Structure formats: C-alpha cells, structure tokens
Chains A and B, each alone.
Chain A
C-alpha cells in the first residue's frame, strides 16, 4: 500500500437499521401520542407493525446499498476496477513408489498443512493444472499447480512436503518445488473506495497542486512507497558520472543537465574519493552537464564515477525561502532505499508532462539519520514492566521509521510522550529525551527534541525504555 494513507471516502450509508430497531422505534413513536400503546403479539396491530418494519428494513437495506453501487459504477465507467483475488501457483514434484510408470491426473489435490499453537489445522490446497505422466523406469515428475481458491497464501518455503488429499495410488510423497506467486486477497470495500477517491482526486489534465501530485504518484507509482511533495522547493539533485581535479579546480560531470549557475552553493555526497565531498560554491558551468568549484588539493586524474551525487546545498533546507515555480518530490521505496534512476526518469517525465507550464519538477532521494530516544515510564500495577517497556519502544520505533514517519519538522519529545502514553499498561510517562546518534547535516539536537533541518529527511529511531 502506497503511503501516505488516504481514507477520504465518506461512506454514504445512512443507517442500516434492522427489523427490530424499526419496530421498536415505531412503538416508541406511537407511545408519544398514545402512552398506553403496547401491542400484544397475536393482535392485528402487532402483525401490521411487524410486517411494516420488515418491509421498511428491506427498503432501507436496498437504499443503503445504492451509494456504494453507484460509486462503483462511476469508477467502473472511468476504467477503475476492483482488485480481485488471485490464486497462488507453483510446481510440485511427485515421487512414486513404483517405477513402472503412472499418470497423475489433472486436478489431483495436495495440501500444505499448518498447525497453529492450539493444534488447529489450516490446509492450503493446490491442484495440478494438467495430467502428469511419469514414464516407466522413472519415479519422479514435476507438474504445475494452482491454488484451489483465490486468496493470499502464506509465503510457503520451498521445498515443502505436501499432503496428498486426492485418493491417488502409487504416490510416495509430494513436494512443493517452486512457489511462483502467493496470490492475493480481494480488496475490501473500504480499501476499494479509498483507492477510488485517491484515483479520482488525481484525475486532471494538468496537476496544479501538491495534493493532486501526491494523489497522482500514490495511485500510479505503487513502488514509490514513501514520498513527500514539497511545493516551492528546488533541490536540483543530480548524479555525478565523471570527476577531475586539476590545478585546484574540480570539474564534475552530471548524469543530466544540472541547472546550476555560478555562485550557487552545492553539496557533493557519497563520492568514493572523499576529497570531492563537501559543500562548495559553483565557480563555472562550462556545459549544461559540467560545473566547477575550487578545491585545494593535489591533482586527481579524470575518472568515471560509479557513486556520488550533487545537490543544491540550500534547496531542501526548511529555512530556505520559497522557490517559485519549483516542486520537489522526496521519495524512496518501502525499505528507505532510493528509487531506481530509470523509474525516477519515468516519473519526472510523466509529472513534467502533466504540470502547468513554468513549473519545474525535481526529484530527490530521501535521506535518513539516526535518533536515540530514552523513555522513562511508570507502569500500571499487574502489568509486566518488561512487556510494557518493549511495547513503548516498539511504538516509538514504529513512528521513527521509513513507513511511520509523518514528515514533521522535528522529532518532538512531547509527541513521543503522547505515543508512549497510549501504550496499554503505561501509568504515566516520566521523561522522554531524543538525541541524534552520530553526526548528520540533516538535523540538529535541540534540548529534548531533534530539529530537522532538511526536507525529505527521515529519522530512524532506536528507543530504550526504562521503568521508574
């Protein structure tokens, strides 16, 4: 599921009253005018009320299904369809107890059996897709299989022994040899409509707002798991492909047009030769893909560069003034790793073709930095101190992570206190202290908090919780 989370669909169901509720409401309403009204079962009044309540319930139920039905119809007309369940598939290797040949018929069923902690058996069934003929002289054969029902199966390790469910002779054992896909479940109504709302909000011949761009990326680029659109921000990040240092002047070649001008401040990062790394002022731009800066050092011969990037030094700082006509999207995958260059090129071209004229799109890889959090809590009686402490640490580390971070401008100890307070078993939070772990240019310590200096920087937390 792409982030950020959209839950904007307003369920238009008025009220799914059941028959008894309608009947009780009717009696209650009647009693406001006729206090003695108390229909006895078996009388004509009661029969009429029950019949009316029943029919009203049918109408209510039908009407309440209409909004979602109409919404689904509208979405279908626009080519937006539900994600239907798919079946798991793979291959099974079958070993026979005879070597005189045999045919395993299509549809033969095998199961992967899982017992839970209470000994309850769950079977994941597979059926062979075609007849498997094992020739005389051989005892093994492999055949493709598909799950009996469309739903998401667990990630079954291979090889795994399967149980033969069908009554099939001569099979000594069956092993799941490969698991091509685990299948997927049908999305729920809520998931479908929330996705539909996100899709509708992304529809426009021209993207003009940051929220539209957010919706567009969320719907169309699911591999971009974490991203943030920063309006009025110019980052101009680029990859370095070649570097040379001659007579105290560095000339870097970038993968694409850099857009820098003489006097711009740039930060060079991640170069294998650390001499190049640092923040410098651009002294010249010989071509659209080369720029120079001063660096006092012995000469370094020209060489291709495999790693390293350059970024406009002040572009992503929260303190930098708004840069009109620029939008920067900071993005990464679910693990916090950069999106591939190919994918970013596609995204940038796509976004650029959709934005209004004069708006520049910049893409930037998110950065991470480490934060240590020390929490002191009091635990309620009858709760395990270690269990509650672990739960508090988990909750805070979940927030201070790639998936959980809310793109705030600081790691605020007061908010961490709120998170810790919500953990079951916490009586009160005595203290919370967040500090940077290691040197970073992305953030700075500020008393109990950590102030984030650059946009697109995600804190990765490590939390230690102690009980008072």
Chain B
C-alpha cells in the first residue's frame, strides 16, 4: 500500500494528500529513513522495530543502517557515506539496491 509523503503535502490539482507509490525507490528510501529515526521500543506495539540512536557515535553509523535494513528485506545496502557540515550537523547518504 502507498505511504504518506513526509512532510505532508496536498496536490494542487486534486487536493488529495500526496503519497509515495509502493515499490518505488522513494518508498524504500522513506522506509530506510524512518527505520533509522525510530529507536527500539519506541513504537508501542511493534517494540522490536527500530535501531539504537547513532547520533553521537559516528563509528556505529554503518552498523545502525545495517540493522535498519533488516526490516526492509526487499533492499540491500551498498554504501553509507557521512558528511559533517560546518554547522555541526551530519548528513548520512545511504545507497541501496533492490532485488
């Protein structure tokens, strides 16, 4: 099933909430991004889902993303790169393959 696009947007033409098509690259990218941002036991029912917060430990980044990919068996993580910005924030880029 399609999933809601975050941040939430509405179509100018149909005024419907925009969604991401299931099985699209963006769909899996959204799942990876969500999985990285949800900590274990954060969801009240699916307590198994999520990863350890990697924010302050760069060395764990690869492992964290590897853990996150376990919840999305349709993809394989190929590459993770991090980039420290001047303002102290860190961008993480995840490359994956479907199949």
Give A contacts to B, CB under 8 Å.
19-20, 23, 36-47, 50-51, 53-54
Interface centre among A43, A44, A54 (most CB of B within 10 A): A43
Whether the pair B3, A51 counts as a contact (CB closer than 8 A) is no
Whether the pair B35, A37 counts as a contact (CB closer than 8 A) is no
CA distance A40 to B46 in the complex (A): 11
Whether the pair A44, B3 counts as a contact (CB closer than 8 A) is yes
Give B contacts to A, CB under 8 Å.
1, 3-4, 6, 30-31, 34-35, 38, 43-46, 49, 71-72
CA distance A44 to B27 in the complex (A): 12
Other-chain residue from B4, B45, B71 in contact with A20 (beta carbon distance below 8 A):
B45
Whether the pair B71, A41 counts as a contact (CB closer than 8 A) is yes
Whether the pair B49, A42 counts as a contact (CB closer than 8 A) is yes
Whether the pair A41, B46 counts as a contact (CB closer than 8 A) is yes
DSSP class of B's interface residues: helix, strand, loop or mixed?
Answer: loop
With A39-B1, A40-B1, A42-B31 as contacts: A47 and B45 at CB distance below 8 Å: no
Interface centre among A38, A42, A45 (most CB of B within 10 A): A42
Cβ of A297 to closest chain B Cβ, rounded Å: 90
Whether the pair B3, A54 counts as a contact (CB closer than 8 A) is no
Cβ of B4 to closest chain A Cβ, rounded Å: 5
Other-chain residue from A23, A42, A45 in contact with B45 (beta carbon distance below 8 A):
A23
Whether the pair A42, B38 counts as a contact (CB closer than 8 A) is yes
Q: Which residue of A lies closest to B30 (CB)?
A: A43
Whether the pair A40, B3 counts as a contact (CB closer than 8 A) is yes
Q: Which residue of A lies closest to B34 (CB)?
A: A42
Whether the pair B1, A19 counts as a contact (CB closer than 8 A) is no
Whether the pair B35, A42 counts as a contact (CB closer than 8 A) is yes
A-B pair count, CB < 8 Å, reads 47
Interface centre among A23, A37, A39, A40 (most CB of B within 10 A): A40
Whether the pair A38, B1 counts as a contact (CB closer than 8 A) is yes
CA distance A44 to B43 in the complex (A): 11
Q: Which residue of B lies closest to A38 (CB)?
A: B1
Specify which chain B residues have a CB less than 8 angstroms from the CB of A46 in the assembled complex.
43, 46
Q: Can you list 18 A-B pairs, Cβ within 8 angstroms, ordered by A? A: A20-B45, A37-B1, A40-B1, A41-B71, A42-B35, A42-B38, A42-B72, A43-B34, A45-B4, A46-B46, A47-B43, A50-B43, A50-B44, A50-B46, A51-B44, A53-B45, A54-B44, A54-B45
Having A37-B1, A42-B31, one finds 14 other A-B pairs with CB under 8 Å, namely: A36-B1, A39-B1, A40-B1, A41-B46, A42-B35, A42-B71, A42-B72, A43-B4, A44-B4, A44-B34, A46-B43, A46-B46, A50-B46, A54-B45
DSSP class of A's interface residues: helix, strand, loop or mixed?
Answer: helix
Q: Which residue of B lies closest to A48 (CB)?
A: B4
Specify which chain B residues have a CB less than 8 angstroms from the CB of A19 in the assembled complex.
44-45
Specify which chain A residues have a CB less than 8 angstroms from the CB of B35 in the assembled complex.
42
Whether the pair B1, A53 counts as a contact (CB closer than 8 A) is no
Other-chain residue from B1, B4, B30, B49 in contact with A41 (beta carbon distance below 8 A):
B49
Whether the pair A44, B44 counts as a contact (CB closer than 8 A) is no
Cβ of B30 to closest chain A Cβ, rounded Å: 8
CA distance A19 to B43 in the complex (A): 11
CA distance A51 to B46 in the complex (A): 11
Q: Which residue of A lies closest to B4 (CB)?
A: A44
Specify which chain B residues have a CB less than 8 angstroms from the CB of A40 in the assembled complex.
1, 3, 31
Whether the pair A43, B31 counts as a contact (CB closer than 8 A) is yes
Specify which chain A residues have a CB less than 8 angstroms from the CB of B4 in the assembled complex.
43-45
CA distance A44 to B72 in the complex (A): 15
Specify which chain B residues have a CB less than 8 angstroms from the CB of A53 in the assembled complex.
44-45
CA distance A39 to B30 in the complex (A): 14
CA distance A439 to B3 in the complex (A): 86
CA distance A309 to B30 in the complex (A): 93
CA distance A50 to B45 in the complex (A): 6
Specify which chain A residues have a CB less than 8 angstroms from the CB of B49 in the assembled complex.
41-42
Specify which chain B residues have a CB less than 8 angstroms from the CB of A45 in the assembled complex.
3-4
CA distance A37 to B4 in the complex (A): 12
CA distance A176 to B71 in the complex (A): 63
Q: Which residue of A lies closest to B46 (CB)?
A: A41
Q: Which residue of B lies closest to A36 (CB)?
A: B1
Q: Which residue of B lies closest to A43 (CB)?
A: B3
Q: Which residue of B lies closest to A37 (CB)?
A: B1
CA distance A23 to B46 in the complex (A): 11
Specify which chain A residues have a CB less than 8 angstroms from the CB of B72 in the assembled complex.
42
Cβ of A340 to closest chain B Cβ, rounded Å: 61
Cβ of B10 to closest chain A Cβ, rounded Å: 15
CA distance A43 to B44 in the complex (A): 14
Cβ of B3 to closest chain A Cβ, rounded Å: 4
CA distance A47 to B33 in the complex (A): 14
Other-chain residue from A36, A37, A38, A41 in contact with B43 (beta carbon distance below 8 A):
A41
Specify which chain B residues have a CB less than 8 angstroms from the CB of A43 in the assembled complex.
3-4, 30-31, 34
Cβ of A442 to closest chain B Cβ, rounded Å: 65
CA distance A12 to B1 in the complex (A): 41
Specify which chain B residues have a CB less than 8 angstroms from the CB of A54 in the assembled complex.
44-45
Q: Which residue of A lies closest to B50 (CB)?
A: A42
CA distance A46 to B49 in the complex (A): 12
CA distance A37 to B2 in the complex (A): 9
Cβ of A181 to closest chain B Cβ, rounded Å: 47
Specify which chain A residues have a CB less than 8 angstroms from the CB of B34 in the assembled complex.
42-44, 47
CA distance A38 to B4 in the complex (A): 13
Specify which chain B residues have a CB less than 8 angstroms from the CB of A47 in the assembled complex.
34, 38, 43
